[in-house]
Structure 1
Amino acid sequence: MSYIKSIGLLFLLALLAFQLPPARKTTIYLIGDSTIAQKIPQTFPETGWGMPFPTFFDSTIVVANHAKNGRSTRTFLAENRWQPIIEALQPGDYVFIQFGHNDEAENYPDRYTPVADYRKNLLKFVTEARRKQAFPVLITPVTRLKFVGGKQQETHVAYSAATMEVAKAQKVPLIDLDKMSRDLLQQFGEQNSKLLFLQLAPGEHPNYPYGRQDNTHFSELGARKMAQLVVSELKAQHSPLADHLARPLPKNAVPPTKGPDAQPTTP
């Protein structure tokens, strides 16, 4: 009996010795501005859509959120935020690129980037990612909340167009989050859409004792909805990443109405 046990133990050890190494995980790098970025507790419930984004994937996908508040393509490069990503990129990784909010801010010269330079910077991201055998994905800037006469307005005309031009010229996958988010807000309606943004009455949250009327940055609900739009487009485009979703996407639900009309805010 002990002989049989010994043989069985040796067989088990042999199997363990020849186990295949675990498959390498694929990393999705997110680069962009405050609409994607990780937030600190002091700004909660403000939430970037990059925060819930990892929850849509299984354990084979790692999401590295390098987006940063207030950054344009120009300042992201000037602050050397791109180089560490390039150095870390492995073949088969992804780089999701969404800028525009701060590039277009002419009244903020520390971040403003003319459209022509914006295109060049996007091209740099795409070219250098491909050089590392990674897969760039261009994303148009997510909309701001701005209803006029019951219709959600297009708030990033020139920079969304430039993003689409680079995607077409370079044959890069494009997620038109600008249009998708506008359509979502139109579906929710003017009042309900405010629940997707950082719209708080005075005293509603201790981080904002005087309230907040922010039509650019998202609530937890809004960030999750925007991440859901990105994931839904990966499925629609039959991206290989869609094979690594952790669970089916939930159906959209329109929440109840809230509060008076809000005024537009700066980025």
Structure 2
Amino acid sequence: MGAFSKIWQGAVIASMLAAPVALAKVTIYMCGDSTMQDWNEGYYPKQGQGQDFHYWFDPTKAAVVNRGQGGMSLGGGGKDKKGNTAVGYYDMFFKKGCSAGNCIAEKLQAGDYVVIQFGINDVSYSTEDFFASNMKKMVSDVRAKGAYPIIMSPIRRLYYDSPTQIHNSYRGYPALNKSLAEELNVPFIDMSEMVANYMISVGEQYAAQFIFNYATSAEYSNLGSDQTDQVHLQMNGANAFGRIITEQMRAHADPIVKKLGDYMAPMYQVDVKVSPEGAADATSLGAYYPQGMTVMLKTMPKSGKKFLGWYDGNGNKVGAPSRSNVKSPYIHTFVMGSAATQYTAVYEGGTAQKYTGDGKALTAFPTTTPKSLADVTFVPFTPIEGTEQIDVEVDKNIKKFFDAYSPDTGVGYKENNWTGFMGDGFFNLENSQTSFASYKVKFPAAGYVTLAVRYANGGTTDRMFNAYLDHDYLVSAPPTGAWDKWDTAYVVMDAPQGETELKIMSLTSDGAPNIDAFGFSLAGVCRVSEGCPEVQDSTKDTTDTSTTVLRGVAANAGVQLRGSVLSLVRDADVSVFDMRGRLVVRKAASAGEVDLSETVRTAGLYRVVVRSGSEKFNANWVKMR
């Protein structure tokens, strides 16, 4: 989604900076998009690369400030694909006098580091020229303060072209980052290649279930629906990629970057065993962690195998996980201590294996990803999708609307001088780019929901606004013809469990449209100011799957599932994934009807993905009998 100003975050971030920076020798600023940002507890297990990055460092030597901002491109000043002015991270959050306040360039001290990772959203919201221009400005600003820039290419998306080839979803931006680093003589970490190599080494099933945010409501109590997010990371993946970043820093050819290795905390190995061997379909890989970081262990039983539980290095069965929203018996979390250890996933017929090591911190670290892949060629492809957007269909079945007349806080006016509003009136945001209306809401469960905003725009131009919910969501508000004529705009959002703030923000000097009401497609959402009674989880899917219209395409496009029969209007590539994220079938199909039961012979729920040319359509979960 497009990304715009979050001025109200300034005070929070400023207080966050004060304590650790005062003690540390240097500060490391992590700049990036939603794959870098902090995600609040209600989204668990979703996490950005920068969220736990501070644990890798000794706090007396280096402080880490994560300034990742969801939806952001680096470049600005041009026009995006919709013809709107593109505003980038540099203008909003970094440069001196930036529009969002709390500008990073004004915080920098000599000797600090700035890690810069962009490119995912620039595919849609910028151009390579604007990207390069802003990268040069950012690097210049960093150096002017005596600080050190580090450029990183963006991570990959969960998209395997083959077991040995990861799709390049972000066009030329990984290569552009590298070429700019060379041109500007800036240290470079090629996370695009490192992540691709890592994904190949662990395989598609592991990447989906242990790295990217594939998570189910059976695993986590805060999730109202299953997540199949091919862009963002779960905690284990975010920390796996953070580990790769630190390994690249330790071994970097640039001595200034390599110096960061001296600032890192002690690391302790966690070995992971399965007993008896072969009982699990997949299990967390052993890895090392710093003290204080949360470790996630997960095992996936093979069919017919009975899991008895996780056992620690002393041979004792573990207690409750450290994260209270973990409810799957196959998942265990704990906070890393100051000694190496071991855990065993014990299945029927197996026994816990006791740890026999000395518990000491590691003294040597890898400098590459787990497997050498010098013989693998990575070929750039035209992307199917190139931003942080997730393929979720807008649901216009809004369960409840809330009167927008009285925001909890706002810059604007409560009015009722036009007709046609639903409640006591409407909120007229002040004619400025800094006006907003804030509403505290509470969600019964995490998951993707549709936000509907009823508005009036009597002007002659689109009064696009930002609907911020822990992430930027750009919403178009075309003219309605008059200020007493109302229309509804929709956007799919990723909502957390629990209380949060919906903030409707102006993006133009004319302000936003008049806001009459807003609502969500999820039952049980409430406004905190109106009282929030306990509600039953209403997110269970009761949809009849006998006929499924594929997400991302209108019903009249003719791409449908009826039972196990897929109807195609043109030739396409069809992929079928099981509930664990494993690819079951991939085939080229001709226009007409394709009976999936002829190739998928095991009963269960499956996800069907259809690709035709540059378009990609996702089905809901489909039951095969």
Range class of TM-score, shorter chain = 0.7 to 0.9
**Shift, 1:44, TM fit:** 1.6
Name the stretch that deviates more: 218-227 or 235-244: 235-244
Could you say which residue in structure 2 is the equivalent of 1:44?
44
Could you say which residue in structure 1 is the equivalent of 2:212?
197
CA distance in 2, matches of 1:72, 1:214: 20
CA distance in 2, matches of 1:222, 1:176: 17
> Which gives a bigger RCO, structure 1 or 2 (Cα 8 Å, sep 6+)?
1
Native 8 Å contact 2:94 2:138 kept in 1: no
- Paired amino acid for 1:42: G
**Shift, 1:157, TM fit:** 3.6
Native 8 Å contact 2:142 2:148 kept in 1: yes
**Shift, 1:42, TM fit:** 2.0
**Correspondence for 2:261 among 242, 254, 259:** 242
**Correspondence for 1:139 among 142, 145, 152:** 152
CA distance in 1, matches of 2:270, 2:95: 36
Native 8 Å contact 1:129 1:135 kept in 2: yes
Native 8 Å contact 1:93 1:135 kept in 2: yes
CA distance in 2, matches of 1:217, 1:23: 32
**Shift, 1:247, TM fit:** 1.7
Could you say which residue in structure 1 is the equivalent of 2:405?
none
Deviation string for 1:181-232 (max 9, x for gaps)?
1111111101111110110235433443221110110001000001001000
Deviation string for 1:91-118 (max 9, x for gaps)?
00000000111111x2xxxxx0101111
Structure with greater strand percent: 2
CA distance in 2, matches of 1:80, 1:206: 35
Native 8 Å contact 2:24 2:62 kept in 1: no
**Shift, 1:52, TM fit:** 1.8
Native 8 Å contact 2:29 2:65 kept in 1: yes
CA distance in 2, matches of 1:24, 1:197: 32
Native 8 Å contact 1:196 1:219 kept in 2: yes
| Aligned positions of 1:81-120 closer than 5 A | 81-83=94-96, 84-104=103-123, 106=124, 112-120=125-133
Change (3 A) 1:168 1:42: same
CA distance in 2, matches of 1:39, 1:265: 27
**Shift, 1:244, TM fit:** 1.1
Change (3 A) 1:256 1:191: farther
Native 8 Å contact 1:160 1:178 kept in 2: yes
Could you say which residue in structure 1 is the equivalent of 2:452?
none
CA distance in 2, matches of 1:167, 1:70: 23
Change (3 A) 1:199 1:51: same
- Paired amino acid for 1:190: E
CA distance in 1, matches of 2:147, 2:26: 10
- Listed as ranges, the gaps of 5+ residues in structure 1 are 1-21, 107-111
Deviation string for 1:56-110 (max 9, x for gaps)?
1112100011111111113213324443111110000000000111111x2xxxx
**SS, match of residue 191 in structure 1:** helix
Change (3 A) 1:251 1:129: farther
**SS, match of residue 28 in structure 1:** strand
**Correspondence for 2:233 among 207, 218, 228:** 218
| Aligned positions of 1:170-209 closer than 5 A | 170-194=184-208, 195-209=210-224
Change (3 A) 1:31 1:242: same
Native 8 Å contact 2:93 2:104 kept in 1: no
Native 8 Å contact 1:154 1:182 kept in 2: no
Native 8 Å contact 1:215 1:265 kept in 2: no
- Paired amino acid for 2:139: V
CA distance in 2, matches of 1:250, 1:162: 36
**Shift, 1:23, TM fit:** 7.5
Change (3 A) 1:240 1:200: same
TM-score for the superposition, normalised by structure 1: 0.82
Native 8 Å contact 1:205 1:211 kept in 2: no
Change (3 A) 1:148 1:250: farther
**Correspondence for 2:247 among 232, 254, 265:** 232
Structure with greater helix percent: 1
- Paired amino acid for 2:185: K
CA distance in 2, matches of 1:94, 1:177: 17
**Correspondence for 1:123 among 121, 136, 140:** 136
Could you say which residue in structure 2 is the equivalent of 1:62?
63
**SS, match of residue 36 in structure 1:** coil
Deviation string for 1:30-50 (max 9, x for gaps)?
111011111112222110010
Aligned residues: 239
- Paired amino acid for 1:49: Q
Change (3 A) 1:88 1:41: same
**SS, match of residue 48 in structure 2:** coil
Native 8 Å contact 1:181 1:226 kept in 2: yes
Identical amino acids, percent of aligned pairs: 27
- Paired amino acid for 1:88: K
**SS, match of residue 79 in structure 1:** helix
**Correspondence for 2:167 among 129, 153, 163:** 153
Could you say which residue in structure 2 is the equivalent of 1:4?
none
- Paired amino acid for 2:148: F
Q: Which runs of 4+ in 1 moved over 6 A?
A: none
CA distance in 1, matches of 2:178, 2:153: 7
**SS, match of residue 204 in structure 2:** coil
**SS, match of residue 27 in structure 2:** strand
Native 8 Å contact 2:24 2:63 kept in 1: no
Native 8 Å contact 2:90 2:138 kept in 1: no
CA distance in 2, matches of 1:193, 1:211: 16
TM-score for the superposition, normalised by structure 2: 0.36
CA distance in 1, matches of 2:259, 2:581: 43
